[in-house]
Structure 1
């Protein structure tokens, strides 16, 4: 579980008043991947640091068992809109206020460029309806790769290239077991803590902060508004900080 920064830990707040301000924010997440993104989220919430003491999140994977046809960007955003309306009604009934309470619920959709159709429509609908999006081009593996190294060259929209570069990083294969020297693309879908967390003996900038710095620099380089042209691109760090309320991990 994420650690609280500053003041008393969240675990010591059990005797605090049960008012609106003490409620955890409920965050519902639709993920394109069935394995990679949920495993990553579990790791960072378990090991991350809350940005502000007393402000916590309860996250829920909203589509854990759905079929692949329901994991397309536009379809997920459409489903997310319905979920958002439901949880907003529940929050209002509980006395929360959209514009004043930090713990007003959020619904996020994490999806990739890959070769999907309807991405501009998905982003437009999400913005209109208040659904949050974390978008990666060509795929989520770019965000994982940025924890190891900066990468600014185009992938040509090919996720396999990003995955291959990730698997070739020094020390990556060894995170799957002692003596492991190579892993398949299928095996690499499973995220290991050592791939994203900073070793306790490492005094350098955290892997998260390094990845965020690389991503922000990449993203700032685009003048076009068409998401198909952002190659590479990822703003998963917005989800980490704005959605999960973590300062890092």
Structure 2
């Protein structure tokens, strides 16, 4: 079972040989549009998830925990992520890691939503050009949370509030905030609870994560346009879970 990993600083060691390099955790640096929701989700799944390969672990670092709203726009975050990527790549080289050889070469990820943001296409294009990884949700991250409960293929009209409302109305959702809780406000729902994403021990069905991933892939495959502004709904958060955090599930 995976354990939460992270911190503001990472020890740097030069050399160490191939065996030493292979035994290090991958450092993953993450910029999140949400100040609360995405970081809480990440903490839960890393703490409770399963590493895809024994011996390959990740230390994740939220790079913008106290950033103001203007610094949480997609293009702005990608621009900052590019600078972070260049820095951590230099540090990785100094530590003896090689981009084309070592599985634990560092990664930088940006998690952002469509919402009503400008510059979505520019942000995605810059990220692809510079080697920054992106997990993108349309209309917002709440879609990914909703897919842990049910499939949803209809358009939200770009309105995140609609996705949030549908999430809060799911059977059992409110109860994850405490015994006897029947309703949850939109503000309260920003806080993620384990019971919303983890599979109950008594559930013999496909895990909530596998269910969400299956729904997301089917939704994404249905889009024929190349314009990400029109991918309603869409989410590829599972790529971050597997390709970034190296989890096989949770």
TM range (shorter): over 0.9
Match of 1:80 in 2: 81
Q: 4+ residue stretches of structure 1 with deviation over 3 A?
A: none
1:179 is aligned to 180
Separation of aligned partners in 2, 1:225 and 1:130: 20
**TM-score, normalised via structure 1 length:** 0.94
Aligned-pair RMSD on alpha carbons?
1.0
Greater shift in the superposed pair: 123-132 or 221-230: 221-230
Tell me the equivalent position of 1:101.
Answer: 102
Q: C-alpha displacement at 1:18, in angstroms?
A: 5.9
- 2:124 counterpart residue number: 123
Q: Which position in structure 1 is the counterpart of 2:191?
A: 190
Question: Could you report, residue by residue, the CA deviation over 1:6-57 in whole angstroms, capped at 9, with x for unpaired residues?
Answer: xxxxxxxxxxx96110010000000000000000000000000000000000
Equivalent residue number for residue 136 of structure 1: 137
Per the alignment, residue 199 of structure 1 pairs with: 200
Q: Distance in 2 between matches of 1:95 and 1:224?
A: 42
**Following TM superposition, by how much is the alpha carbon of 1:161 offset from its aligned partner in structure 2, in angstroms?**
0.1
Q: Deviations over 1:170-189 (max 9, x none)?
A: 00000001100000000000
SS state at 1:19 partner = helix
Q: In structure 1, what is the Cα distance between the partners aligned to 2:88 and 2:167?
A: 37
Separation in 1, partners of 2:163, 2:67: 25
Q: CA deviation at 1:223?
A: 1.4
Q: Which residue of 2 aligns with 1:2?
A: 2
CA distance in 2, matches of 1:93, 1:200: 44
Give secondary structure in 1 for the equivalent of 2:186.
Answer: coil
Looking at structure 1, the residues matched to 230 and 241 of structure 2 have their Cα atoms a distance apart, in angstroms, of 24
Extract unaligned runs of 5+ from structure 2: 4-17
